[in-house]
Chains A and B, each alone.
Chain A
Amino acid sequence: MRLSVGPLLYLWDRPGVFAFYRQLAQLPVDIVYLGEVVCSKRRVLRRADWIAIGRDLSAAGKEVVVSTLALMEAESELSSLAHTVAMADLIEANDMAAVQLLRDRPFVAGPHLNVYNTATLSLLSSLGMRRWVAPVELDTATLAALLGERPPGLEAEVFAYGRMPLAFSARCFSARVRRRHKDDCGFVCAEDVDGLTVHTREGEPLLALNGIQTQSAQVRNLIGRVDVLARAGVDVLRLSPHSSAAVRFEEVAGAFRSALDSHARSAPCPPTALPGGYCEEYVHTATVSGAGPAR
């Protein structure tokens, strides 16, 4: 199995972004996804900056993929997409608009395309899909069943580390909770370098707000399931970037690398400082006493 680093989902400052990717060039990962997936208003990095980062990562031997926006509404977003598609070698499509523009070119189907069955996999393969990043809500048994009859040449990738992207909206929640309007957001999402944790009224960490995206508060960590995923036929594990306030990302990458290489038992992974901690299961389990399941 290979290791990838997914697109940076948060708004970090310029020096922080450059430092992160400089460090990645030295880490034992194989594939790096670049570009903005969440909010088109975020322009801390220009296209030229991403191209420069991509060039350095390629020179360091990484496969570079450019990820596209998940929610595209504005004409400006469509023109920007056309530009990206024209310039990048390999694209992760996160909206059917990208698939339409990529027709008959190799592409990666991102986790935000809804792919849940063999017929969909076959059709997208016939249009050029070479790798498929499974939706986070897809269970391992279904994944294994789909990969058992996958189209020839198709690779599968799974979101294996990070706060899970769960939803997109036209509304900016980072602005809303600070009582700001989206048009005058002041880029307040930059204050939440790993998303803003939302707790239930019983103090249980439940969700994380990241601009127009809602994530899980818990950090998915599948390092203990590497063997299961390998048996299911998964080819690539994705690590989603987190800041040094949450975890030492280089140690996460190192732990996953050793888990992939040794196969026998999982290597130690550093703890996360984020309030939700780690989870393996996709479905959140209530942790507050007295709050048993409803069934």
Chain B
Amino acid sequence: MSEPNEQKRPQIELVCPAGSLPALRAAVDNGADAVYIGFRDGLNARNFPGLNFSAEDARLGIEYAHRRGTRVFVALNVYPRPQLWEGATRAVDEAARLEADAVILADVGLLQYADEYHPRLNRHLSVQASATNWRALEFYERQFGVRRAVLPRVLSLAQVRKVIEHTHLEIEVFGFGSLCIMVEGRCALSSHVTGESPNTHGVCSPAHAVRWEETGAGRRVRLNGVLIDEFTPGEAAGYPTLCKGRFEALGNVMHALEEPTSLNVLDILPQLVAAGVRAIKVEGRQRSPAYVAQVTRTLRAELDACLRDPERYRPQAAASAALQRLAEGRTHTLGAYSRPWQ
């Protein structure tokens, strides 16, 4: 095999989320290199009420972005069961018709469909495909001509480096936003309690299953009846995903799986650049246009500073503080990249 990565440019794309047309404009106007969106069809991993794009909004958004030199990726990253299959293939057709710059897919069947019917439409491997090693990436590259892969948020920086050394694919990693502690695509906690998971319905802890209760001692939150957490008055209460709830194990009540915290990679940006990462992704299509604007603007400035002089780059204190205010649980970590918990 020849040097797999000799042609990789040092350029790094900033890939930002948009759950609506105003959010897309906010990302484009504040310096995103690419924006990712989903259709309003339950076929992407942020299948939330009131979120996502109609075909007409997608057309307008793609036009807006392309006129300003920004690329648009369409996420179609659920695993369609038979009843969703036809809709899913139609959505791939639609992304091609609208001249999206790529589709982000996880399902093997859909990858095959896109490769067969739309060979000129770029195929990116979604984080939901759970490809955590270069051998798995080799499968998707050879089988479907995938161009880029988004890595699950479970790899250490050293492991990201190893993957890049061994693959021909462009590698995109998460840089900021909510943190999945489980391997994406390998987590059925949500469906075990609510019947709906990211794999099957594009949603984790669906809003219709959430119930808040005010009690004398504070607030309780249930997911389909199951008590996920209990907060004292004044305590910050996050969205009730199972992995961030407080439960009893070995006689202690604790965050048995994960603290509510966000991912923020500013501290290791130069190392990610040096590793050969081709794109930094921001999580949060469910977030407001104002959030998208602020995160995009902040990360744009930091990424530019880092690319200008990676060796001397240090995150601006103001940038870190701004991101921290936006972070879930108001704290952030390097997640698996640094593996503080190993």
From known contacts A119-B113, A196-B249, A204-B226, infer whether A167 and B186 are also in contact, taking CB-CB under 8 Å.
yes
List the A residue with the shortest CB-CB distance to B89. A119
On chain B, the residues within 8 Å of A168 by CB distance are: 182-183, 186-187
Cβ-defined contact, B108 with A97, below 8 A: no
Tell me, yes or no, whether A146 is within 8 Å of chain B by CB.
Answer: yes
Q: Does B120 contact A (CB under 8 A)?
A: no
Contact of A116 with B155 in the complex, beta carbons under 8 Å: no
Q: Is B326 an interface residue (CB 8 A)?
A: no
A72-B133, A177-B249, A286-B226 known; A167-B189 Cβ under 8 A: yes
> Is there an interface contact between A169 and B82, defined as CB atoms closer than 8 Å?
no
Q: Is B121 on the interface with A (CB-CB < 8 A)?
A: no
What separation, in Å, do the CA atoms of A118 and B79 have in the docked complex? 11
- Among B82, B110, B138, B187, chain A packs the most CB atoms within 10 A around the CB of B82
Map CB proximity to B onto A165-180 as digits: 1 under 8 Å, 0 otherwise: 0111111010011100
Contact indicator A291/B109 (Cβ below 8 Å): no
Q: Is the CB of B226 within 8 A of A101?
A: no
Q: Chain A residues with Cβ under 8 A from B227's Cβ?
A: 200-202, 204, 288, 291
In the complex, residue of chain A having the shortest beta-carbon distance to the beta carbon of B207:
A294
A-facing residues in B179-225 (Cβ within 8 Å)? 181-183, 185-189, 191-195, 197, 199-200, 208-211, 222-225
B98 contacts chain A at the CB level, 8 A cutoff: no
A173 (CB) vs chain B CBs: closest residue: B257
**Alpha-carbon distance between A117 and B341 when the two chains are bound, in angstroms:** 37
Chain A residue nearest in CB terms to B88: A117
Contact of A198 with B248 in the complex, beta carbons under 8 Å: yes
Are B136 and A96 within 8 A (Cβ)? yes
Stretch of A206-214, A241-249, A260-268 lying at the B interface: A206-214
Checking A164, A169, A183, A209 against B192 with a beta-carbon cut-off of 8 angstroms, the contacting residue is A164
Asked whether A123 lies within 8 Å of B247 as measured between CB atoms, the reply is no
> Which of A55-63, A134-142, A251-259 sits within the interface?
A134-142
B277 at the interface (CB under 8 A from A): no
Q: Is A283 an interface residue (CB 8 A)?
A: yes
- Cβ contacts under 8 Å, A156 to chain B: none
Please name all residues of chain B whose beta carbon is closer than 8 Å to the beta carbon of A284 when the two chains form the complex. 192-193, 224, 226
- Residue of B81, B83, B247 touching A199 (CB-CB under 8 A): B247
Contact A71 B109, CB 8 Å, known A97-B136, A199-B247? no
> Is A170 touching B183 in the complex (CB atoms < 8 A)?
yes
- Indicate which residue in A97, A136, A198 contacts B249 across the interface (CB closer than 8 Å): A198
CB distance from B299 to the nearest CB of A (A): 24
Residues of B within 8 A of A114 (CB): 79, 106-108, 129-130, 185, 199
- Cβ contact within 8 Å between B191 and A282: yes
CA distance A173 to B256 in the complex (A): 7
What is the CB-to-nearest-CB distance from A53 to chain B, in angstroms, rounded to a whole number?
27
Chain A positions within 8 Å of B, measured between CB atoms, are 70-75, 77-78, 81, 95-97, 99-101, 112, 114-120, 122-124, 135-138, 142, 145-146, 164, 166-171, 173, 176-178, 181-183, 196-204, 206-207, 209, 214, 216, 282-286, 288, 291-295
30 residue pairs of the A-B complex, CB under 8 angstroms, read A73-B133, A75-B162, A78-B135, A95-B132, A96-B129, A96-B140, A114-B199, A115-B108, A117-B80, A117-B85, A120-B108, A120-B109, A142-B82, A142-B83, A164-B192, A171-B336, A176-B256, A176-B341, A177-B254, A177-B256, A182-B339, A201-B253, A203-B248, A207-B247, A214-B257, A283-B191, A284-B192, A291-B227, A294-B208, A294-B211
A-B residue pairs, 4 tightest by C-beta: A119-B109, A286-B225, A97-B135, A170-B154
